[in-house]
Amino acid sequence: MQDKNYINIKDLSPQEIEDFVLNNNSKPFRARQISKWLYKKGVDCFDDMSDLSKDFRDLLEFSFSLEPSLELEQEQVSEDGTKKYLFKLSDGNQIESVLIPDKSRNTLCISSQVGCALGCTFCMTGTVGKIRNLRPSEILDQYLLVNKYNENAITNIVFMGMGEPLDNLENLVKVINVLTDPNYLALSPKRITVSTSGLVPQIKKLGEQVSVNLAVSLNAPSDELRDEIMPINKRYPIKELLEASINFPVPNRKYLMFEYVLLKDVNDSDIDAHTLGKLLRGIKCKINIIPFNEAYPLPYKSPSWDRVLKFQEILISYRINVRIRKSRGSDILGACGQLAATYPSIKVKEPQAQI
């Protein structure tokens, strides 16, 4: 068995917890009892799992850790009610999560990595570079702790925080299984959205393993332009990305989503809109137009509101479902593309994933 300080029990998938129970000659229902204490009761000590035998609690104590993987360092509240949370990890690195309240929902934007390897030129996280993947416990604790800090329960989750979720696919799938398992957190797959900058092989793998919504960060209508602002396009160009995205099995009655960050005088012209309309015409999708959220030292500017409306108008003329995403939390650097956190001078790195 592993030393208890080696693995957090929340790093295990539902199947792995059940396997542990069965491998230790206990009944399958013990796994459901453990899940209740971990994810519904929120205990932080194995001894509090009162309906488990003393021997089994001792076994869990010997085998696993249950300490929180995150420590809240700062909470900021925007003028619009958006909340940004800065969390410290056990190795000293930091990540951010954003809670976006609305009338009918509370959406939590979750980070999946410390930094990001993809280097999109309009994203603050990309300026950090990739430090490491987050473990399942570190991803789940964002949800569990933010839920604990707020009266209104989280209803929706978007993996659009720091990092490229599909560059941490194995851990992401574990987390989604915990989030959606009826005996664990029991969230509907329709309420979970995974965003990607375009890791084509992983899009297929994600669709084969779990059911979630997919949001593709497109941001350019041509390979030439996308190569400049999203280096991943040089490996997986738009044609390959669209093919993988169209074949992704989104949940029933849901649409494939494309995200398009409008950068003034870069990708916001009438020609860009027409090219994008022709590219996506006939695809069952929605486009979220996101006016760029300015943040130093990124070099881009946000277009005028008239330009945003004109861009939307052109896309609608191609019979495409288009909405303009309202910026939330920009005054606390909590809006799309603004998450970067602050980092200590010494950063613990893992080997870079091959993308």
Catalytic residues: 96, 336
| Helix ranges (DSSP H) in the chain | 14-23, 29-35, 54-63, 124-128, 136-149, 169-180, 200-209, 223-229, 238-246, 270-280, 305-316
Pairing between β-strand 156-159 and β-strand 130-133 as defined by DSSP bridges: unpaired
Residues 158 and 100: their CA atoms lie apart, in Å, by 10
76-105 burial: b if 16+ Cβ within 10 Å, else e: bebebebbbbbbbbeeebbbbbbbbbeeee
Question: If 0-12 CB within 10 Å is exposed, 13-18 middle and 19+ buried, where does residue 125 land?
Answer: buried
From residue 119, how far is each of 169, 203, 331 by CA, in Å? 18, 19, 24
Amino acid in position 96: E
From residue 255, how far is each of 66, 213, 274 by CA, in Å? 38, 8, 21
Radius of gyration over every alpha carbon of the chain, rounded to an integer in angstroms: 21
Note the Cα 144 to chain centre separation in Å.
15
Q: Within the chain, what is the greatest distance between any pair of CA atoms?
A: 69
Amino acid in position 204: K
User: What does the DSSP 8-state code read for residue 233?
Assistant: G
Residue 128: what are its φ and ψ, rounded to 5°?
Answer: -80, -35
CB 85 within 8 A of CB 146: yes
CB 348 within 8 A of CB 131: yes
